[in-house]
Structure 1
């Protein structure tokens, strides 16, 4: 029996088991095929970007590991992404940071323009990939003391305000070019290592700076402004200006998208529990799906309980049209393309598992007060043949089944990425 025949036979049996629970497998697969994950570019080069000697990473960020083959140019990064997308079922987005423009010479953050991202717009447009964007409030001399938009110096604040305004215009141009709104996410690392004397003043400055950035109304069908909170960072262990409460209030009062990052809360907190609460009051959510280990360490997404809970909340609450799912991890200790494939495939697998739940049955049991049956059915669901449906989906989408994708990554590493450490970059 061929591998394709085995996959088909397993899928047929799995479909029958799900059908017995009232689950339409084909409908679930159709919904999954319509969902696009925003794949983050910064996994491919350890958040270095293409500005040259703009500065060290820092500012609350750290990438560990020295696995060979980091992308050093936009063309190298695009080549790595081409392979990653070929290993992931479905059509997915690309999330760019502002430091990934193609700069022919020194260009400071307040001077970036659409022209510096035209190569990305053309590349994604040719492939039907939609773009998302992020201002980069880190790795810059004017962020060296840990403050940007909340800085006490009005001149430095204005520099970063101008950066934010420029990024909104770039995001709007991306959205117009792709006829689909570009989500533009604002994460600001500002904070203190030790206890502040005033928590109030920096937050007032941050709110005023954001208001100045968002003063111009841009078409929502071109760009959506998102704001991202954080509990603490390296060098801001005691106080982060943009806390969850700050941005929750800001998003509600300014009608912005709220971004929840899975690694930006206390280790005992989970964002899955926040989704339904936040969507009571904000129009849309952006999720940065990550995996913190003891702290906001941005490990590659694995198929763990919280990942499954996040996707269950989105599906059970019927929030797919109001939640933008993006990834945010960077691991330099393993093959970087493999990290993309592992994390994105896991996110999609968890989404599929959520779509294959007998959601209406579970919620009807809850409404009826039959909590015994609800728990029993939830537990039975855990051993349903998800893998057989996932393998069929991958095959139907023309991507490798099971761990077959790993061999393609190894071949690419031998032919391409392993040679980068021995080569110099021209220019």
Structure 2
């Protein structure tokens, strides 16, 4: 067990070190308490959902690994989430996909209603968790050929338009119930494996479909519409209809939230370099923080240089009130609750590190052209006692310090996850 007195002593020493650089640690702690990460539900069940069909994902999605203990029901998923939230400092959100409704009888996606998500709304209210939402344009017979809202068949297009309209109504109901906007994110996988002859026709159909979905204005205090771009995917290697340029233009012209996913660009591109540029023209951003390994593979978020750069850009630009931070990864090769804890804690660590920078001083040096001092200070920050502040924050909100959370996950795995029917096997820890 961690020694409480040692943590407090280390924290006081860290405060003094940061104060010498002009950083008020207490203000940083106050600010991070208001940062809410939207935790993605699909890490808990390998993006299977609860529609009753446990077939292959399809449409460019893939989850690798067969670690025991996957959540198979809404109640099991909620139980796993509750443990995950108890291991993460702060109060955070939950990002739901439309295929996670509770369906007593089969309901196709163009017919989903608020009642199918009432269990989630009630649970979220009890837990003090706010919800975000996503229509699900994948893993469905009407998406089998890789096209949905940009489909050449008007009937299939209309099916997915109706799904989008239904999803917006559900998101608005969630926002009304929780008293803050539910961010409703639209990602569609539409694209070609090989080079198309017409790049424009599918994009014209996609824009028209989205316009029909968004034709009715819904209260901004209840829901915000976001649109998500992508460079390529499995089955759409040569052409994706909803490219970055397409959705950037759409978000600007329709006043929508633009979603940037850390894995949706060329491997040499980073979303930290796009945040300030995009926010010059769109009202708000949604981020899907992920970790691609050579492609959009959605690995668990680690404390990487790019993760730190993303959070630095948000904090340095004073964008915390204009950027919605969400996670998007799915790893079935390790304990799924542990994956949530690792990824979300890392995201928050990166936010805290950014809040502990002497930003005014650094920006003043930059304005004065003193790039020598700017580089010297940013490098010195890398060895500052950030960990002591993070440990104190965790302790102050009664969340496990250091790797103590792993013991709770292992205990839960033995007591609960390994006893789920069909998953009872020896885990490799």
Place the TM-score, normalised by the shorter chain, in its bin: over 0.9
Matches within 5 A, 1:192-271: 192-271=192-271
Structure 1 SS opposite 2:325? strand
Deviations 1:343-380 (A, max 9, x none): 00000000000000000000000011111100000000
Matches within 5 A, 1:21-420: 21-53=21-53, 55-420=55-420
1:328 Cα deviation from its structure 2 partner: 0.2
Structure-1 separation of matches of 2:397 and 2:85: 11
Give the TM-score taking structure 1 as reference length: 0.98
Give the TM-score taking structure 2 as reference length: 0.98
Deviations 1:249-296 (A, max 9, x none): 000000000000000000000000000000000000000000000000
Structure 2 SS opposite 1:402? coil
Please, which runs of 5 or more residues in structure 2 have no aligned partner?
Answer: 425-429
Structure-2 separation of matches of 1:267 and 1:254: 29
Residue 7 of structure 2 corresponds to which residue in structure 1? 7
Structure-2 separation of matches of 1:128 and 1:46: 25
Structure 2 SS opposite 1:237? coil
Structure-1 separation of matches of 2:322 and 2:265: 22
| Cα distance change, pair 54–423 in 1 and its aligned pair in 2 (3 A) | closer
Structure 1 SS opposite 2:189? coil
Structure-1 separation of matches of 2:78 and 2:57: 22
Does structure 2 retain, via aligned residues, the 8 Å contact 1:90–1:397?
A: yes
Structure-1 separation of matches of 2:266 and 2:421: 38
1:56 Cα deviation from its structure 2 partner: 2.2
Deviations 1:56-110 (A, max 9, x none): 2010111000001100000000000000000000000000000000000110000
Please, which runs of 5 or more residues in structure 1 have no aligned partner?
Answer: none
Superposed CA RMSD: 1.1
Structure 1 SS opposite 2:408? helix
Does structure 1 retain, via aligned residues, the 8 Å contact 2:48–2:54?
A: no
Structure 2 SS opposite 1:344? helix
1:55 Cα deviation from its structure 2 partner: 4.3
1:128 Cα deviation from its structure 2 partner: 1.0
| Cα distance change, pair 275–423 in 1 and its aligned pair in 2 (3 A) | closer
Structure 2 SS opposite 1:286? strand
Structure-2 separation of matches of 1:278 and 1:423: 45
Structure-1 separation of matches of 2:60 and 2:266: 16
